[in-house]
Amino acid sequence: MRLCLPVFSLAELYSGRNCSGRVRLPLSESLRRISGTQSPDKNQGGMHVTLNVETKVSPTMTKLTVRDLRRRWKPHKTRLQDHQPDHPTNIRFHRCCSWLDQSQSLMEATQLDQALINQWIAFNALYGQWDPDRNDPRGDRECWKRFCEVVLNLDQSEVISATLQEHKQLVMTLLEDEYLSNFYWKEPSLKRARQSKKSMFDARTWYLEQRWVMILERCLERVYLLRCQLVHGAATYGGKLNRTSLKRCVMLLDCLLPAMLHVFADHGADRDWGLLCYPPLKPARS
């Protein structure tokens, strides 16, 4: 006898409710019954049925701390240093971790404005490239979009896509927020506010089609808008109007950056990430 049970996401199992909001069994009881480990009652008659049910659960990722990431990187760091003392890939990783570590401390102190700025600086340390023709850094959007494509291609363990799946609700709220939409700010109005939510509806299809590059880029575009508002003096420090948007952006980067560094450490050590901007230089001797 084979029983067909509904498929639940891991979040639903932990919450004890399914999508319709109906209360189900506790997690331990659900898993015990699904695995078919329930023993027959010797005092009762009847047939004992062993369940053989394949369950499909959404993957969840354990977010690595900066300390974990540095430990993961250490073998590559030593190897790259032996090849080149100031190896640019080592410098990228070190710079990123230094700012990410500080941003997490700021989050604990609920200093979200500074936290988001530090998070983007950490991200910029990974994607930034020098343009030798212009003798200046390349444009942000050009660089981080290229970086996203490369890091997702390197992500053999699907760490980043699993993170996007795990935090799908956060992604959707970010894409729904008209105040994070460039389209909305070009001509703020109720009509444009409604139209700016198109990305959220599109994202449902993107998730089904596993278009992770598109999802990641659209999210980062919205975070980048708020980053620019803060950096260019277009927002008040600690202002009440942007608190909700700011919290969403900080929460998303707090999940995505460790995932990106995870992939960077596991698969990106020998990748050419382009010319490093402003490499550390020794003082010139007279």
pLDDT at 108: 86
131 phi and psi, to 5 degrees? -100, 105
Helices in the chain by DSSP H: which ranges? 10-15, 27-35, 66-83, 88-108, 112-127, 140-154, 159-166, 168-176, 182-186, 190-195, 198-208, 212-231, 243-267
Tracing tokens 């029983």 back to the chain, one arrives at: 3
Of 210, 209, 231, 212, the closest CA to residue 220 belongs to 212
Are 93 and 276 in contact, with CB atoms under 8 Å apart? no
Give 253: exposed, middle or buried? Use CB within 10 Å, 0-12, 13-18, 19+.
buried
Cα separation, 216 vs 149, in Å, equals 9
Tracing tokens 């998070």 back to the chain, one arrives at: 119
Supply angle C-alpha 172, 159, 119, rounded to 5: 65
pLDDT at 83: 92
pLDDT at 60: 60
Supply angle C-alpha 245, 247, 250, rounded to 5: 110
Cβ neighbour number for residue 227 with a 10 Å cutoff: 21
pLDDT at 286: 57
Structure token digits, residue 216 = 């990641």
What are the residue ranges spanned by the domains of the chain? 1-58, 66-267
pLDDT in tens, the chain (286 residues): 443 434 434 344 333 444 344 443 443 343 333 333 343 444 444 443 333 333 333 456 678 899 999 999 999 999 999 999 999 999 999 999 999 999 999 998 889 999 999 999 999 999 999 999 999 999 999 999 999 999 999 999 999 999 999 999 999 999 999 999 999 999 999 999 999 888 899 999 999 999 999 999 999 999 999 999 999 999 999 999 999 999 999 999 999 999 999 999 999 999 999 999 999 998 877 5
Cα separation, 225 vs 186, in Å, equals 12
Give 213: exposed, middle or buried? Use CB within 10 Å, 0-12, 13-18, 19+.
middle
Q: Is 238 helix (H, G, I), strand (E, B) or coil?
A: coil
- Virtual CA dihedral for 22, 24, 26, 32, nearest 10 degrees? -150
Q: Using only C-alpha atoms, what is the Rg of the chain?
A: 23
Tracing tokens 């901007």 back to the chain, one arrives at: 277
pLDDT at 199: 87
Terminal-residue alpha carbon distance, the chain: 87
Cα separation, 55 vs 153, in Å, equals 28
